[in-house]
Chain A
Amino acid sequence: EIVLTQSPGTLSLSPGERATLSCRASQSVSSSKLAWYQQKPGQAPRLLIYGASSRATGIPDRFSGSGSGTDFTLTISRLEPEDFAVYYCQQYGSSPRTFGQGTKVEIK
């Protein structure tokens, strides 16, 4: 099973700042099959990024993903008020599909 470790656990930033979230895998993620989801309280996760760097339909271009192998990054170029949430990475290259433990982006 691939273990995904996200860092930091919490990121305290102000609107307009840049957010950089990390996801490290215990072994190489096949074909960069790495996704990022955003979850707000009381809501289901929403797909942001798939294939490590492709934005899902309707996702603003301030969200970008990068990385390959075992190291992946989600960047939010300028935080909007609606971006404060929990973010999860998830690999779908091998079974069982696994999630990271999440990074909370909170308002400073």
Chain B
Amino acid sequence: QVQLQESGPGLVKPSETLSLTCTVSGGSISSYFWNWIRQPPGKGLEWIGYIYYSGSTNYNPSLKSRVTISVDTSKNQFSLNLISVTAADTAVYYCAGLAVGGPFDPWGQGTLVTVSS
């Protein structure tokens, strides 16, 4: 079955760019829409956006001005860039797949990113 694994720095300085990558294994990257979702410590879940293997994207308006999601089909990976981060961006970041018109499934295990100097 499809498995997802997030990777990237666990610590980012304020005003810098948060960059994460999700590696897809056990299935084709063309099978799903690929999402980023985050969860601040002790809080709820926030959808960030998705990308399709063709490159089409859809972002949450609350983050749209700071977010870019890209895909590398040759590596079966997709990535998140979030610019101008502040402490409010400290969260566990999850990657997740979704089939057309479906819920988020599967999910990666998540990676904690802390924004601090």
User: Residues of A at under 8 Å CB distance from B?
Assistant: 1, 33, 35, 37, 43-47, 50, 56, 88, 90, 92, 95-102
Verify B44–A56 contact, CB threshold 8 A. no
Note all chain B residues with C-beta closer than 8 A to A95: 58
Note all chain B residues with C-beta closer than 8 A to A102: 44
18 contacts between A and B (CB under 8 A): A1-B61, A43-B109, A44-B94, A44-B110, A47-B103, A50-B102, A88-B44, A90-B45, A90-B103, A92-B102, A96-B61, A96-B62, A97-B104, A98-B47, A99-B44, A99-B47, A100-B44, A102-B44
Bitwise, B15-28 to A at CB < 8 A (1) or not (0) is 00000000000000
Q: How far is the CB of B103 from chain A (nearest CB, A)?
A: 4
Q: How far is the CB of A10 from chain B (nearest CB, A)?
A: 14
User: Residues of B at under 8 Å CB distance from A?
Assistant: 44-47, 58, 60-62, 94, 98, 101-105, 107-110
Complex Cα distance, B106 from A45, in Å, reads 9
Complex Cα distance, B96 from A37, in Å, reads 13
* B interface: dominant SS: loop
Complex Cα distance, B103 from A33, in Å, reads 8
A92-B98, A96-B60 known; A35+B104 contact, CB < 8 A = yes
Complex: chain B residue closest to A91, CB-CB: B103
Verify B45–A92 contact, CB threshold 8 A. no
Note all chain A residues with C-beta closer than 8 A to B103: 33, 35, 47, 50, 90, 92
Note all chain B residues with C-beta closer than 8 A to A56: 105
Excluding A96-B47, A99-B46, 8 further A-B contacts by CB distance (< 8 Å) are A44-B109, A47-B105, A88-B44, A88-B45, A90-B103, A95-B58, A96-B62, A101-B44
Q: How far is the CB of B45 from chain A (nearest CB, A)?
A: 4
Q: How far is the CB of B59 from chain A (nearest CB, A)?
A: 8
